[in-house]
């Protein structure tokens, strides 16, 4: 398995890290809230709400990243090392994005988000 494919697995796990932070950072999550966790997550505020928002964004962007990695691999015109480096850079951008979201650094978060999206697009350009 390539590094890029392992990065897809990491990207699939990152939303659940954010979910855990959202649920357990406020100390409010328990067995009762687990009966309807989506409603519970919608009631959060502050740090926990930002973690939940980071979770939602992570779920939104992961399919595009996975598709870009798979397409670049199938097309086969890019060097495998290039695909691996782009994938690691994307995962790094996602971790920075989550940190920026949790820290409430809105402008930096937007910049990091844009970099991550540019990295997804770059998979297509290196595969031409």
Q: What is the DSSP string of the chain?
A: --HHHHHHHHHHHHHHHHHHHHHHSSS---TTGGGSHHHHHHT--HHHHHHHHHHHHHHHHHHHHHHHHHHHHHH--S-HHHHHHHHHHHHHHHHHHHHHHHHT-HHHHHHHHHHHHHHHHHHHHHT-
Q: Which two tokens stand for residue 40?
A: 């519970």
Query: Of 19 and 31, which is predicted with more confidence?
Result: 19
27 — pLDDT class (breaks 50, 70, 90): low
pLDDT of residue 33: 61
Output the pLDDT for position 57.
97
The residues near 72 (Cβ < 8 Å, ≥ 6 apart) are: 4, 78, 83, 86, 123, 124, 126, 127
Whether this model's pTM surpasses 0.75: yes
Question: Within a 10 A sphere around the Cβ of 119, how many other Cβ atoms?
Answer: 21
Q: How many domains does one find in the chain?
A: 1
Mean pLDDT of all residues in the chain?
91
What does the pLDDT look like over 31-81, one tens digit per residue?
A: 566 667 777 778 888 998 999 999 999 999 999 999 999 999 999 888 999
Exposed e or buried b per residue across 29-52, where buried means at least 16 C-beta atoms within 10 angstroms of its C-beta: beeeeeeeeeebbeebeebbbbbb
In the prediction, which pLDDT does 22 show? 87
* pLDDT tens digits, 79-116: 999 999 999 999 999 999 999 999 999 999 999 999 99
- On whether the CB atoms of residues 94 and 58 are closer than 8 A, the answer is yes
Domain that holds residue 91: 3-127
Q: 29: domain CATH number?
A: 1.20.120.550
């Amino acid at each position: 398995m390539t590094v890029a494919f392992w990065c897809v697995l990491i990207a699939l796990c990152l939303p659940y890290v954010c979910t855990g932070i959202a649920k357990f950072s406020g100390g409010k999550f328990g067995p009762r809230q687990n009966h309807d966790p989506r409603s519970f997550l919608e009631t959060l505020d502050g740090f926990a709400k930002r973690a939940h928002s980071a979770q939602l964004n992570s779920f939104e962007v992961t399919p595009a990243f996975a598709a870009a990695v798979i397409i670049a691999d199938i097309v086969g015109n890019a060097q495998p090392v290039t695909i691996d480096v782009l994938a690691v850079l994307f995962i790094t951008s996602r971790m920075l994005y989550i940190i920026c979201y949790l820290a409430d650094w809105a402008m930096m978060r937007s910049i990091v988000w844009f970099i991550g999206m540019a990295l997804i697009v770059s998979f297509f350009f290196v595969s031409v």
